[in-house]
């Protein structure tokens, strides 16, 4: 039976570094009393050796003495801690531990930044779950069931990362829970353990969380805030241009991977800003290969919204996921990702985030049925060949309420794979959003959303910047109606101008600084066509309204001039 020691923390929504510094241990354990000076001498020798060696590499084991007085030691810093903080923590621990456990041969001390222990039994390479410290925040989540599910899933993912060979026993993950709450998780094993033994230890820790931390905002090794000191995000600070979620994993070292990331991002912006979707890759078999994908929401393709979103994503993602080879970022209008593993063409539902409106429908059962029926339609349409993985629909629910639905898959997926992804998203809607008047589920391969307001731009509205960037069927209608002389002049001018893709290819070589001005020039040269079309539409609309009003006036005058008919 594991001995569990509880430490209840009253601080809410503060990073751990705010209430547990390198000078302040968060727990200790003492056992196995001893007598005599030789054991103490060996303890002192082990502590000195551990501090010197672990301050450099973040981990060390040591031993001193022989026979009954022999002492074994281990020191390790948290995997994300700078060397200076690591060295400071180890120095404090080496001073504090013998003072906290005088006369004991088995002593352990935990700080936020490091862990130090010694024992007269050789524990190196063995999993030890006999003693635990559990830190619990006494405040509960507003939606306990959903929070526990999200936190549990995140913990298991961090534990899997830590137990993976090559990660040195460290795993870090984060997940968007609501638009304003992100859960951060960290898992770490001592580096003397083999990956399988590490996995067994973390599995025991994950199993312990539900027994003690159900409903808790902060528990064990998952948090609502980053592990570094930062201010909590407020609703007021979130603008429409801010990302709605991100994901980072697979840390890397070296410059080649970063160089390939930069090339992929520039290439994605150049290509996806034209057609709304692109995949890219840079690097080869010598390591550092990066694969990328970018896609705009189907109703904003070819618009300035698509371009601006892609540019913002390409700037934000490498800073948000600095040092990570797997980076993904979601905006309302676009999605962008890169990875050192080739994900293109594969369904990815390994990470998700769900937003739902806290307002409930007045008739939940009827609303759920209507919303699910609508989502079923957009799912089927998006997964239909030829629809490029996109569909939008609306359905009248009551006289004053319309439900709007949208489904989209990344265009690298086959229709059947798109259907599988959207089916998984629909299951999450049922699981989390029953009765809610709005819900959106985002995976890396698809998204599904419904609201009671028109959150998307209807396909009947032309939102692009001129005929050259519109769908082929629309361009055909325009060209068929065009004056033959104007058509020939335009074709001649087109032959004399370099193509937009050629301009962009040259600009992309200079990175984001030269790419964005080139894109803006292309949009500006077509802006006059857009303005002329919009002006004609407005004038025609106003003329139509005027004609309708005149017709109504004439009808009213005729009606007033007639004598009322007498009943026969």
* CA-wise closest residue to 83 among 51, 111, 116, 110: 51
171, two tokens = 């795993």
Task: Assess contact for 307 and 323: CB atoms under 8 A.
Answer: no
From CA 376, how far away is CA 427, in angstroms rounded?
A: 11
Contact 47, 95 (CB under 8 A): no
Place of tokens 């290439």: 267
Residue 332's SS3 state is: coil
Q: Bridge-partner residues for 54, per DSSP?
A: none
CA distance 181 to 500: 41
272's CB contacts (< 8 A; 6+ apart) are 278, 294, 295, 296, 306, 310, 334
Dist. CA 182–CA 11, nearest whole Å: 18
Confirm if 192 and 110 have CB atoms less than 8 A apart.
Answer: no
Model confidence, pTM: 0.46
Cβ 417 vs Cβ 400: under 8 Å: no
CA 188 to chain centre: 22
Residue 429 near residue 451, CB atoms below 8 Å: no
Q: How many CB atoms lie within 10 A of CB 456?
A: 19
Q: Which two tokens stand for residue 319?
A: 């800073």
**Please, are residues 423 and 379 in contact by the beta-carbon 8 Å criterion?**
yes
Q: Which helix (H) or strand (E) holds 405?
A: strand 402-409
SS3 33: strand
Contact 103, 33 (CB under 8 A): yes
Q: Mention every residue, 6+ apart, whose C-beta is less than 8 A from residue 435.
A: 360, 361, 364, 367, 368
Each residue's pLDDT, cut to its tens digit, for the chain (568 residues) gives: 333 333 322 222 233 333 334 467 888 899 999 988 999 999 999 999 999 999 988 999 999 999 989 999 999 999 988 888 899 999 999 999 999 999 999 999 999 999 999 999 999 999 888 888 887 766 677 788 888 888 888 898 998 999 898 889 999 999 888 876 888 899 999 999 999 889 889 888 888 777 655 433 322 333 333 333 222 222 222 333 678 999 999 999 888 899 999 999 999 999 998 889 999 999 876 668 999 999 999 998 888 889 999 999 999 999 999 999 999 999 999 999 999 999 999 999 999 889 988 889 999 999 999 999 999 999 999 999 999 999 999 999 998 899 999 999 999 999 999 999 999 999 999 999 999 999 999 999 999 999 999 888 865 333 333 333 333 333 333 334 444 444 444 444 444 434 555 555 555 555 555 555 565 555 444 444 444 444 454 455 455 555 555 655 555 454 444 444 433 3
Which among 214, 216, 212, 188 is positioned nearest to 202, based on CA atoms?
188
Q: Which domains does the chain have, with CATH numbers?
A: 3-134 (3.30.430.20), 140-199+214-339 (3.30.430.20), 353-451 (3.30.430.20), 467-548 (no CATH)
């Amino acid at each position: 039976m594991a001995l569990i020691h509880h430490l209840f923390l009253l601080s809410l929504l503060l990073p751990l570094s705010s209430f547990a510094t390198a000078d302040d241990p968060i727990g200790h354990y003492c056992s196995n009393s001893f007598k005599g000076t030789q054991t103490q001498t060996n303890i002192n020798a082990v502590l000195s050796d551990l501090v010197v060696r672990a301050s450099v590499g973040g981990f060390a084991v040591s031993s001193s003495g022989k026979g009954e007085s022999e002492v074994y030691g281990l020191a390790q810093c948290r995997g994300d801690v700078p060397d200076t903080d690591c060295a400071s923590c180890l120095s404090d621990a080496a001073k504090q531990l013998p003072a906290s456990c005088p006369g004991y041969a088995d002593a352990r001390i935990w700080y936020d930044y490091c862990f130090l222990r010694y024992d007269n039994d050789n524990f190196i390479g063995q999993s030890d779950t006999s003693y635990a410290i559990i830190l619990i925040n006494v405040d509960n989540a507003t939606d306990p069931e959903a929070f526990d599910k999200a936190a549990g899933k995140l913990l298991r993912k961090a534990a899997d990362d830590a137990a993976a060979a090559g990660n040195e026993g460290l795993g870090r993950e984060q997940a968007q829970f609501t638009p304003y709450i992100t859960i951060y998780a960290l898992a770490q094993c001592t580096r003397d353990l083999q990956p399988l033994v590490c996995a067994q230890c973390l599995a025991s820790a994950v199993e312990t969380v539900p027994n003690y931390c159900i409903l808790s905002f902060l528990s064990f090794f998952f948090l609502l805030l980053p592990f570094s000191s930062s201010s909590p995000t407020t609703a007021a600070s979130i603008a429409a241009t801010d990302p709605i979620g991100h994901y980072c994993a697979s840390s890397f070292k070296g410059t080649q991977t970063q160089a390939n990331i930069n090339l992929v991002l520039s290439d994605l912006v150049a290509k996806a800003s034209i057609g709304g979707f692109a995949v890219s890759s840079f690097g080869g078999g010598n390591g550092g290969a990066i694969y990328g994908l970018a896609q705009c929401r189907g109703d904003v393709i070819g618009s300035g919204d698509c371009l601006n979103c892609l540019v913002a994503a390409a700037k934000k993602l490498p800073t948000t996921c600095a040092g990570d080879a797997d980076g993904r970022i979601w905006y309302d209008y676009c999605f962008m990702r890169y990875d050192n593993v080739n994900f293109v063409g594969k369904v990815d539902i390994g990470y998700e985030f769900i937003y739902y409106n806290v307002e409930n429908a007045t008739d939940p059962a009827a609303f759920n049925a209507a919303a699910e029926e609508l989502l079923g339609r957009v799912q089927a349409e998006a997964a239909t060949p030829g629809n490029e993985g996109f569909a939008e629909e609306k359905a009248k629910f009551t006289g004053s309420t319309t439900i709007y639905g949208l489904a989209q898959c990344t265009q690298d997926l086959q229709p059947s794979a798109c259907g599988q992804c959207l089916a998984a998203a629909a299951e999450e809607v049922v699981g989390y959003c029953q009765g809610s008047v709005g819900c959106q589920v985002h995976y890396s391969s698809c998204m599904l959303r419904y609201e009671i307001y028109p959150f998307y731009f209807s396909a009947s509205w032309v939102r692009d910047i001129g005929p050259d960037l519109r769908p082929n069927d629309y361009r055909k209608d325009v060209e068929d109606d065009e004056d033959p002389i104007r058509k020939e002049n335009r074709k001649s001018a087109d032959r004399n101008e370099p193509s937009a893709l050629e301009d962009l290819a040259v600009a992309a070589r200079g990175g984001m600084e030269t790419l964005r001005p080139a894109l803006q020039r292309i949009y500006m040269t077509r802006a006059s066509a857009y303005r002329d079309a919009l002006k004609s539409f407005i004038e025609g609309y106003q003329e139509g309204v005027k004609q309708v009003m005149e017709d109504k006036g004439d009808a009213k005058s005729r009606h007033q001039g007639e004598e009322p008919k007498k009943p026969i």
